[in-house]
C-alpha cells in the first residue's frame, strides 16, 4: 500500500535490485547488531514490534498500540516504524537471518513466498493463538491459506487493501449516476463503465476518470492491469510460481481497454500518483481508480465523495490487493513469555481491527465485518464484500508490495496508458520480463 496523503513510496529499481543482491552479505552482520534482551525490567515481558505504517495508518496504529499497552501493563511493548518498501524488507530479512529479530512484525502477505518461511520466519502456534480467541475459521479461507507453507501457518492476515473506485458524489449526482440513497448505481461491463465516465466528464468538461499513468517507479498501471486481468480469470504464473501461465488473448483484451481509457479521452494520459490525488481532491473528475488508503486524505479535505468496489468489467468483481499480515521473524530461541506475548498481541490487534479499518483497509478478521461500529463507518464499509474476491500476486519471491514484479510490469503497462507502447508490444515485453524474473534466483534459495 501507499501511505495516505503521500506520493507512492519510491523503491527505485536500482534500490530494489541492490537490496536483493545484498541480503545474503548483509545478513551476516545481524548476529552482532540485532541482539536484544528477552525481557524488560520490573518483571515485565518485553515485546518488540516492527511495522512500516506511515501517514494516517501510522496514526491509527499508534492509537491501537497505546490501547494495547493500557490493557497489558505486564507487557513492555516497543514499537519501531521503519521505512516503507525495500528498506523495510531488507532490514527484516537481515534480522531473521541473524536469528535475533523482533518478536512480531508486519509483512505483506503476497511477499511471504519470497521470505523463506522456516528460516527467516517462525511458524505461529495455532493452539496458543486459539487460547487468545483467534482461530482459522475467523478468516476468509483463501487469505488464510496464503499464509500457510508446508502445513504450518507463517502469516496471520490483518486486512486486505484492494483497488477501489472513488467517486465524487456531487459530480455523479449531476450526471444521474446515483441511486436514491446517494450510492453509485450498479455498473456492469466495459461499455457501461465507459458511459458512466463519459457522463461524469460531461459535467466537468474534463476527463471523467483519473488514474496513475506514469512517474518514477510507477506501479499504478500494474494494479489496474492486475485488477482487470484477474476479472477475466487469467493467471500470470502457475500455482508453484515457477512457470508463466499468462493468457495472451485475455491480457491483450485488458491492455486494449486500458489504452482506450486514455486514447478516447476518458482519462488524462500523463499523470503521476501525486497528480491523481490532486485532480480528484480538486473536484476536477468524477472517478478515481486507486487503492483504498487515500480515504483519510479525501475525508480530511471535506470533499463530497464515496467509494465502491471496482465494477465487474471483464467477468467478475475481482480487485488487485495485498494484505498486511503479522509474522514471527526468526528467533533461534523463540519461546517462553515473549512468544506468548507475541501471540497475545496479534490476537488483540485482530479483535480490535475495527479501529484499523478507519484507514480504509478491509479487516481480514471476519467478526469485525459484522460489528455495528464498522458497518456504520462510511465509506469504509461500502466495499467490504470484496474480501471474498481479492486478487493477490502469484506466490513468487519477486512478487508482492514494493516488489520487482510491480516495478517491472508497472513500467511496461505505463507505456500503454501514455501511448508510448502498443498493447501488443506491452504484452510481449511483459512476458519477456516475467521470464527474466523467473530466471533470477531468489536471494534466499528455496523458500522453506
Q: Is residue 173 part of a domain?
A: yes
**Is the separation of the CB atoms in 289 and 206 below 8 Å?**
no
Task: Give me 102's grid cell.
Answer: 523482533
- Is 344 a domain residue? yes
Question: What phi, psi does 358 have (nearest 5°)?
Answer: -60, -30
What is the percent of the chain where pLDDT is above 90? 80
Q: Determine the angle formed by the axes of helices 248-263 and 423-439, rounding to 10 degrees.
A: 130
User: How many domains is the chain built from?
Assistant: 2
Report how far residue 7's alpha carbon sits from residue 207's, in angstroms, rounded to the nearest whole number: 22
DSSP code of residue 41: S
What was the pLDDT predicted at 442?
A: 83
Q: How far is the C-alpha of 200 from the C-alpha of 35, rounded, in Å?
A: 57
pLDDT of residue 414: 98
Position 119 in a domain: yes
Q: Which domain-ending residue is among 387, 409, 429?
A: 387
**pLDDT value of position 445:** 60
pLDDT value, residue 9 = 37
Question: Strand pairing of 148-149 and 324-329?
Answer: unpaired
| Within-domain flag for 444 | no
pLDDT tens over the chain, length 448 residues: 444 333 333 333 333 333 343 333 333 333 333 434 444 456 899 999 999 999 889 999 999 999 999 999 999 999 999 988 778 888 998 888 887 899 999 999 999 988 878 889 999 999 999 999 999 999 999 999 999 999 999 999 999 999 999 999 999 999 999 999 999 999 999 999 999 999 999 999 999 999 999 998 899 999 999 999 999 999 999 988 889 999 999 999 999 999 999 999 999 999 999 999 999 999 999 999 999 999 999 999 999 999 999 999 999 999 999 999 999 999 999 999 999 999 999 999 999 999 999 999 999 999 999 999 999 999 999 999 999 999 999 999 999 998 999 999 999 999 999 999 999 999 999 999 999 999 998 876 654 4
- In this structure, the number of other CB atoms found within 10 A of the CB of residue 59 comes to 15
Q: Please tell me whether residues 174 and 232 are part of one structural domain.
A: yes
Co-location of 333 and 308 in the same domain: no
33: CATH: 3.40.190.10
| Closest listed residue to residue 417, CA positions, set 281, 308, 261 | 261
**Predicted local distance difference test score (pLDDT) of residue 197:** 98
Query: For residue range 188-202, what is the model confidence (pLDDT) as tens digits?
Result: 999 999 999 999 999
Q: Are residues 90 and 218 in the same domain?
A: no
291 occurs within a structural domain: yes
| Assigned C-alpha cell, 92 | 527484516
Domain assignment present for 333? yes
pLDDT at 38: 42
Grid cell in block for residue 213: 499513468
Beta bridge partners of 326: 106, 156
Domain boundary at 348, 371, 387, which? Answer: 387
Print the domain residue range for 416.
Answer: 163-321+394-439
H helical segments located in 41-81: 55-71
Same domain, 30 and 118: yes
pLDDT at 87: 86
pLDDT value, residue 85: 77
Shared-domain flag, residues 98 and 190? no
| Cβ atoms of residues 358 and 375 within 8 Å | no
Q: Is the Cβ–Cβ distance between 278 and 298 less than 8 Å? A: no
Amino acid at each position: 500500500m501507499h501511505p495516505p496523503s503521500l506520493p507512492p513510496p519510491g523503491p527505485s529499481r536500482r534500490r530494489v535490485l541492490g537490496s536483493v543482491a545484498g541480503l545474503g552479505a548483509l545478513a551476516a552482520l545481524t548476529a552482532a547488531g540485532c541482539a536484544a534482551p528477552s525481557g524488560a525490567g520490573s518483571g515485565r515481558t518485553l515485546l518488540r514490534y516492527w511495522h512500516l505504517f506511515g501517514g494516517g495508518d501510522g496514526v491509527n496504529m499508534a492509537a491501537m498500540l497505546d490501547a494495547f499497552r493500557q490493557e497489558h501493563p505486564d507487557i513492555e511493548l516497543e514499537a519501531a516504524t521503519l521505512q516503507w518498501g525495500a528498506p523495510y524488507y531488507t532490514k527484516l530479512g537481515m534480522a531473521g537471518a541473524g536469528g535475533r529479530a523482533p518478536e512480531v512484525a508486519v509483512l505483506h502477505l503476497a511477499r511471504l513466498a519470497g521470505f523463506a518461511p522456516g528460516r527467516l520466519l517462525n511458524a505461529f502456534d495455532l493452539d496458543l493463538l486459539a487460547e487468545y480467541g483467534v482461530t482459522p475459521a475467523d478468516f476468509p479461507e483463501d487469505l488464510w491459506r496464503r499464509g500457510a507453507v508446508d502445513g504450518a501457518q507463517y502469516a496471520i492476515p490483518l486486512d486486505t487493501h484492494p483497488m477501489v473506485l472513488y467517486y465524487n458524489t456531487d459530480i455523479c449526482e449531476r450526471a444521474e449516476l446515483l441511486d436514491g440513497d446517494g450510492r453509485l448505481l450498479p455498473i456492469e461491463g466495459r461499455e457501461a463503465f465507459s458511459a458512466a465516465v463519459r457522463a461524469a466528464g460531461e459535467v466537468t468538461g474534463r476527463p471523467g476518470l483519473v488514474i496513475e499513468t506514469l512517474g518514477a517507479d510507477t506501479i499504478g498501471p500494474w494494479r489496474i492491469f492486475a485488477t482487470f486481468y484477474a476479472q477475466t480469470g487469467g493467471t500470470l504464473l502457475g500455482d508453484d510460481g515457477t512457470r508463466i501461465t499468462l493468457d495472451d488473448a485475455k491480457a491483450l483484451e485488458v491492455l486494449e481497454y486500458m489504452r482506450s481509457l486514455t486514447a478516447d479521452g476518458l482519462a488524462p494520459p500523463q499523470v503521476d500518483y501525486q497528480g491523481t490525488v490532486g485532480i480528484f481532491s480538486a473536484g476536477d473528475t468524477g472517478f478515481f481508480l486507486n487503492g483504498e488508503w487515500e480515504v483519510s486524505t479525501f475525508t480530511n479535505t471535506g470533499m463530497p465523495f464515496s467509494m465502491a468496489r471496482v465494477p465487474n468489467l471483464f467477468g467478475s468483481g475481482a480487485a488487485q490487493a495485498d494484505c498486511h499480515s503479522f509474522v514471527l521473524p526468526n528467533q533461534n530461541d523463540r519461546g517462553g513469555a515473549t512468544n506468548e506475548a507475541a501471540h497475545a498481541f496479534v490476537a488483540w490487534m485482530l479483535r480490535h481491527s475495527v479501529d484499523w479499518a478507519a484507514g480504509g483497509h478491509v479487516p481480514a478478521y471476519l467478526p469485525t465485518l459484522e460489528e455495528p461500529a464498522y458497518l456504520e463507518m462510511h465509506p469504509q464499509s461500502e466495499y467490504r464484500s470484496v474480501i471474498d474476491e481479492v486478487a493477490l500476486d502469484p506466490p513468487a519471491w519477486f512478487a508482492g508490495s514494493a516488489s520487482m514484479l510491480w516495478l517491472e510490469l508497472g513500467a511496461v503497462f505505463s507505456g500503454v496508458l501514455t501511448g508510448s507502447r502498443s498493447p501488443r508490444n506491452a504484452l510481449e515485453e511483459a512476458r519477456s520480463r516475467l521470464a527474466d524474473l523467473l530466471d533470477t534466483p531468489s536471494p534466499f534459495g528455496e523458500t522453506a
